[in-house]
Structure 1
Amino acid sequence: MAEPLSTPAAPVPPNHRFDIGPVRYPKLFGATTVPIPMSDGAILTADILRPGDGAGPAREPLPAIVNFTPYNKMLNRHGMRWNDTLRAVGRRVGSSDRRRFTARDVLHTPAGGILEPFVINRTAVRRGYVGLMIDVRGTGTSTGTWDFFQPREQQDYLEAIAWVREQPWCNGEFAVTGISYGAIAALITAGLRPEGLRAVFAIEAGEDPMRELGLTGGVPTPGMLLWILAVTGSKWLPSVPGLLRAGMTGQFLRDRIADPAGWVRHAIEIGLTERHPDSFLNPMWAGKLARFADITAPTWIHGGWHDVYNRSNFRMFDRIPLSGGAKQVVVDDSYHLTVGSGLGAPDSPQAIDELQCAWFDRWVKDIDNGIDRYGPVTVRRQGDGRWLRHPVFPDPAATRQRLYLNAEISGAAAHAGTDAGLSSTPTDTGSRLPLPTGRIRMASNNTGVMSMGVTLLFGRRFGTDDRHAEAGAVAFTSAPFTTDTVLSGPMNLHLNVEVEGADAFWSVTVCDVEPDGASVPLTRGALLSSLRAIDAAASEYVDGELLFPLHTLTAESALPVPPGVPFVVDIEINPTEALVRAGHRLRVAVSRSSFPRHLIPPWLRRTITGQAIVLDPEQPSYLTFRAAPAD
């Protein structure tokens, strides 16, 4: 394996261009629905893209880039034909100034190169790699039963890779990559340490998908069921010519008929059954996680502040025991379907397909291109769109701060359910602020997050102005900042609360309030009161104060919720890096729902009645965060 540079060298800036060399192979040769037999009789299928010239595919063996997907590689293959056209259209649309992420930036996304690594990165293949996309078990044109990230699927990763390494066109070395599911699969693979693995490039992965998406704060996400429905539906759209060619038709049909709906029924049961065992974190979910501490291959993690997995980019980075530039984390101001928007612009990092190629060149081919002098933490700061390099995250210059919640009218949130204050000193008067009830407000940044950025096309209320959603919230707003201030890292909202029923749900959004009143979401968090128990050893403390609580979210650790008696909840707020300019305000909006980000099941909804924030001088409520003066 290539080693980090042994002699210190100057770090390179975020917009540095790494040399990936010219195209070595002018032609591409594809093989589709290639069968890969598994030890238990199931058959995975792969699309394989090899480089070559007029004489045919390259005769010398090359390293492979492997991407595991549940999203039906056949559909992706057909979509890949539009990559060049969509990239050209994205370039014509152009980017905004990126101070805020806008609808224009959604349309500009393909220009950043993301469509290449989503399937098979032709930029890399043309420079001397073999690209593979493999349908995971029970999806696309692969046989078997789909059970995402289960141990048998993880064994499939190893067996498929062993098959790849035995092929005459592979030199025995390979990298793994993917977006979302594929990125998680890549990290799981890396934690299994297969022989020949040289590098990982994980785009929008999650450390713990159920904690971050499926059961966020202890409440189901409706998007999870929609995702399962989409994967299950696409497994009925195989490559028929591929099945016939491989003689797999009978086995494919038997497996699909034996398990027609896959996870759909189980997902519905989890949502509708009171205290279903899988509606909590448990050993089954734990068995689907990557072993980050076991990863030894150089790893690139790429995420976004408004991605559904934005909670864990830095946690994954910190848990991987590598140094010397062999691990990198890049976080953009983007959503799940807009990753890479703006990359390739003069003041931004290189296009993501080229970054991936450069990363693999360094660690798979041992080309000293300097990419291990990048970062290792590279972020696009919210508020001004500036790309920054840090040695660690949060920004070492940021220190712990508190802002206290109070009942004083800020004068900046007349639109909110309740207008309240946020100040540097605790309140000296007691009060009780009930959370508003009312209709669901779909026009919100939570909808923007769950639509993966698509609904930003319908206006600012889905991305950069959450005032419509705040009509159903208590909005605690600070006085205008007197200096430019940078928020860096995770946050904790420490709330003293009181409820009337047997449980209560708390949804929190932290916003930068502009002088014109626009409430721009920066980050968010949520928690079900009965699941407020904290794993103290795994939580993050600064100067003895809780800053990033890790809730256990297990059935065994559920706590009683005493009606009419105040109690404390600590709500983890996802990390961010944001500039709050002088004249702007900071807002903490607390509500009792956040559909479609969270869906409170009917059985749970019946237990939730009134809920309120209790502002008590003896038991103050406050936001803890890190901040530093802007440079």
Structure 2
Amino acid sequence: MATNFQPQSNITQHDGFCVWENIWIPLKDGRQLSARIWMPDMVQNEEGKITPVPAIFEYLPYRKRDGTAQRDESTYPVFACAGYAGVRVDISGTGESDGVFDDEYSPRELSDGVEAINWIAEQPWCNGKLGMMGISWGGFNALQIATLRPEPLKAVISIGSTVDRYNADIHYKSGCHLNSNLSWSGVMQCFANRPPDPALVGDRWRDMWLERLEGANLILDEWLSHQRYDDFWKHGSIEQDYDALEIPSLVISGWADAYKNAPPKAAENMPGLAKAINGPWVHKYPHFAYPHPRSDFHQEALRWWGRWLCDEMNDAEKLPAYRAYISENVRPSLWREHEEGRWVAEDVWPSNSIRPQKLYLNADHSLSETSNAGGRLSICSPEDTGIACGEVFALAPDTETPRDQRIDDGGSLVFETDLLNDAIEILGQPTLSLNVAIDAPLGNLAVRLIDVHPDGVSHRVCFGVLNLAHRHSNETPEEMVPGLAEDITITLDHIGYRFLPGHRIRVSLSTAYWPLIIPSPYHVTASIALDKKAFLSLPVRATGNQMVVDDEIHMPEPEDTNPLPAYKEITPSKTERRVEKDLSGNLTHYITEDDTGTTEIPNHALRVRHTSLVKWSINPDTPLGAQASSKWCCYMSREDWSIKLETEVSMVLNADNFDLFGKMTAYENDKEIFARDYQQSIPRDCM
């Protein structure tokens, strides 16, 4: 269904482009999606003649009007000035789009996305060719929608995403229940149920808001009802059918991001033209991410769009399969501004230049190329081992990243090399092979690969976890037989890292990694056989042992060191992260408090603020009774209009169940207009 060229909404004019602040995309069932569009001046000349251009489509629930406006305004003007229409669309039930939010990457979300693509392609200002891009949610659904093969979609750029929704998202990891499952449900309980902006939808804003609030479910209930890799998680997991993704895909992430595994998996498995990049970054776009060095994402993207949407002969197809930053000498810090290292390229992936190197775990706690086979060691970690873990995915290079690992090594089995005489450089996924028995039917193991500096400071290079019931399969888990030893392998995350001479390599093994993973119902003791089956396998680059490194490639950095537009700060932001020990009650509390401060959005004067309090509590001697809660509050206001939305999601861990509780309270001009409580108990399933 086409629309008139001139939009029926506010237009803001800029140098080289204009912004259509709100455009309605009609869906076949009568709902409308809300879009903000950056349009090149070249689309319509002085005589009114339209010259259609390619479009770049981004589709997510984080609100184009305020939530992602700042980052959108750092990128879409660049695209528009280069001749592309940027179309930023809110998912149904979020922002100004009609309906009620249902779940992440639901069939309806993907179907609506295909409809939106087809609608955009039919507009007189579009030449029928689209690219799709995004980070995190928008990166996920870009890949997922591409597998549905809408004809106008010609290329994808996916940042901070995954090909495996079960093992490589914020819910589960190798069968372990991640703490971000609860914390993210708290985020979405608040974020997905905020009201539309009355300035765009008029008086119907209240009815739309009440519809969202009344239709909202406790989203954690759904996620916890699927503790295995079942059809719920296979939906949208690209790894289930790589062959379906035929169009060129550029997949990008960072080592400080949870989604670092997606780029190399894309390069290895996608049948269409796939290119991969991993930088040193947290979960942000590369042109304003930390740690430095950044990457000039705008020029990288324009080259990609130019090749596949405009048929430019710019050799984008000849880029290396995988470009990666090899970090080195990284130290935990309160703010990691820059990371030492260099960029390298692998023309094909997996690379022929990478070979496995075994380091054996020995009874004297050494880690060496020689196995002194014999003996067993046991570990029963305190349940609060893991407080130096950081977040599953870090959004800032501060205390969200891992702390000095000596904090957690006291509750772990530790194996360490002698001082390195030569550098060891790795790129890929390390693995740890063990023969292990536990004294319970269920238990978890966590492995941390650590760079130990000459002064003892210890940086977590990467980690892996395993729910031992999932040792053979995430689809059909099987409890362990207590006391019966089995051979297992734990796969750690992809990483590019160079261990320097004078440093040591350490492997730390624990039966707990709290609060990053939720404990099993048992306070487990694991027994490890120190034989030739106990070894760390490192993916060593053939050039990595050279003292003179001559394989560095150039990755341009953005010229603009502060690309985000400035928004007026009304009240300042604040972040706290702390651990509290209740010695009398024998409890450990892990607490994060955040306040975004109040920001006023330019041009329409909407003021927004979010606050959160997330708390995890556990007894170091038992996992039973451990608790967690995620409380969020959203404030929005303009002139004589204001709203507040308070949400809470909490969980108690019992032997057989996860007991869930939720609250939601909405206020208009300080008057309560909606309140609801939730309660649910979910049986534990081999977890």
Match of 2:86 among 128, 131, 146: 131
After TM superposition, the structure 1 stretch with the greater mean CA deviation from structure 2, 178-187 or 304-313, is: 304-313
Match of 2:175 among 192, 198, 218: 218
Alignment length (residue pairs): 514
- Deviation readout 1:364-418 (Å, 9 max, x if unpaired): 111222333322211100215110111123442222221111121xxxxxxxxxx
Question: Residues 407 and 433 of structure 1 are in contact (CA less than 8 Å); yes or no, is this contact kept in structure 2?
Answer: no
In 2 relative to 1, CA 58–575 (structure 1 residues): closer, same or farther, beyond 3 Å? farther
Instruction: Find the counterpart in structure 2 of residue 553 from structure 1.
Output: 474
The 5 A counterparts of 1:246-325 are 249=205, 252-253=208-209, 255-261=211-217, 263-267=219-223, 270=224, 276=225, 278-290=226-238, 291-322=241-272
Establish whether residue 37 from structure 1 lines up as the match of residue 62 from structure 2: no
Match of 1:457 among 379, 394, 398: 398
> Given residue 376 of structure 2, which amino acid in structure 1 is its aligned partner?
S
Instruction: Find the counterpart in structure 1 of residue 460 from structure 2.
Output: 521
> CA–CA distance in 1 between the matches of 2:285 and 2:114?
31
| Secondary structure of the structure 1 residue equivalent to 2:327 | coil
Unaligned runs of 5+ in 2: 1-13, 329-339, 550-687
After TM superposition, the structure 1 stretch with the greater mean CA deviation from structure 2, 121-130 or 482-491, is: 482-491
Structure with greater proportional strand content: 2
Establish whether residue 49 from structure 1 lines up as the match of residue 60 from structure 2: no
| Secondary structure of the structure 2 residue equivalent to 1:609 | coil
> CA–CA distance in 1 between the matches of 2:167 and 2:52?
41
Deviation at 1:488, TM superposition (A): 2.3
> CA–CA distance in 2 between the matches of 1:172 and 1:625?
47
In 2 relative to 1, CA 350–527 (structure 1 residues): closer, same or farther, beyond 3 Å? closer
| Secondary structure of the structure 2 residue equivalent to 1:76 | coil
Deviation at 1:231, TM superposition (A): 2.7
Deviation at 1:465, TM superposition (A): 3.3
Structure with greater proportional helix content: 1
Q: TM-score under structure 2 normalisation?
A: 0.70
> CA–CA distance in 2 between the matches of 1:404 and 1:450?
28
Question: Residues 64 and 173 of structure 1 are in contact (CA less than 8 Å); yes or no, is this contact kept in structure 2?
Answer: yes
> CA–CA distance in 1 between the matches of 2:227 and 2:295?
41
The 5 A counterparts of 1:304-453 are 304-322=254-272, 326-337=273-284, 339-340=286-287, 350-383=295-328, 384-408=340-364, 420-437=365-382, 439-442=384-387, 444=388, 446-447=389-390, 449-450=391-392, 452-453=394-395
| Secondary structure of the structure 2 residue equivalent to 1:587 | strand
- Deviation readout 1:83-135 (Å, 9 max, x if unpaired): 6xxxxxxxxxxxxxxxxxxxxxxxxxxxxxxx53xxxx221111101101111
Question: Residues 20 and 37 of structure 2 are in contact (CA less than 8 Å); yes or no, is this contact kept in structure 1?
Answer: yes
Question: Residues 223 and 596 of structure 1 are in contact (CA less than 8 Å); yes or no, is this contact kept in structure 2?
Answer: no
In 2 relative to 1, CA 241–28 (structure 1 residues): closer, same or farther, beyond 3 Å? farther
> CA–CA distance in 2 between the matches of 1:422 and 1:248?
66
Establish whether residue 61 from structure 1 lines up as the match of residue 11 from structure 2: no
In 2 relative to 1, CA 159–80 (structure 1 residues): closer, same or farther, beyond 3 Å? same
> CA–CA distance in 2 between the matches of 1:343 and 1:525?
23
Match of 2:525 among 582, 605, 611: 611
Unaligned runs of 5+ in 1: 1-24, 84-114, 271-275, 409-419, 534-551
Question: Residues 338 and 452 of structure 1 are in contact (CA less than 8 Å); yes or no, is this contact kept in structure 2?
Answer: no
After TM superposition, the structure 1 stretch with the greater mean CA deviation from structure 2, 195-204 or 177-186, is: 195-204
In 2 relative to 1, CA 289–620 (structure 1 residues): closer, same or farther, beyond 3 Å? closer
In 2 relative to 1, CA 406–344 (structure 1 residues): closer, same or farther, beyond 3 Å? closer
In 2 relative to 1, CA 593–340 (structure 1 residues): closer, same or farther, beyond 3 Å? farther
Instruction: Find the counterpart in structure 2 of residue 591 from structure 1.
Output: 510
Establish whether residue 625 from structure 1 lines up as the match of residue 573 from structure 2: no
> CA–CA distance in 1 between the matches of 2:86 and 2:199?
18
Deviation at 1:27, TM superposition (A): 3.3
Establish whether residue 567 from structure 1 lines up as the match of residue 486 from structure 2: yes
Q: TM-score under structure 1 normalisation?
A: 0.76
Which one has more relative contact order, counting CA pairs under 8 Å at least 6 apart? 1
For the aligned residues, what is the CA RMSD? 2.7
State the identity %. Answer: 24
- Deviation readout 1:418-463 (Å, 9 max, x if unpaired): xx22111222331222233253543x2x31x435143x4349xx44
Question: Residues 296 and 321 of structure 1 are in contact (CA less than 8 Å); yes or no, is this contact kept in structure 2?
Answer: yes
> CA–CA distance in 2 between the matches of 1:303 and 1:35?
32
In 2 relative to 1, CA 596–610 (structure 1 residues): closer, same or farther, beyond 3 Å? closer
- Deviation readout 1:473-497 (Å, 9 max, x if unpaired): 2111112222222222112211222
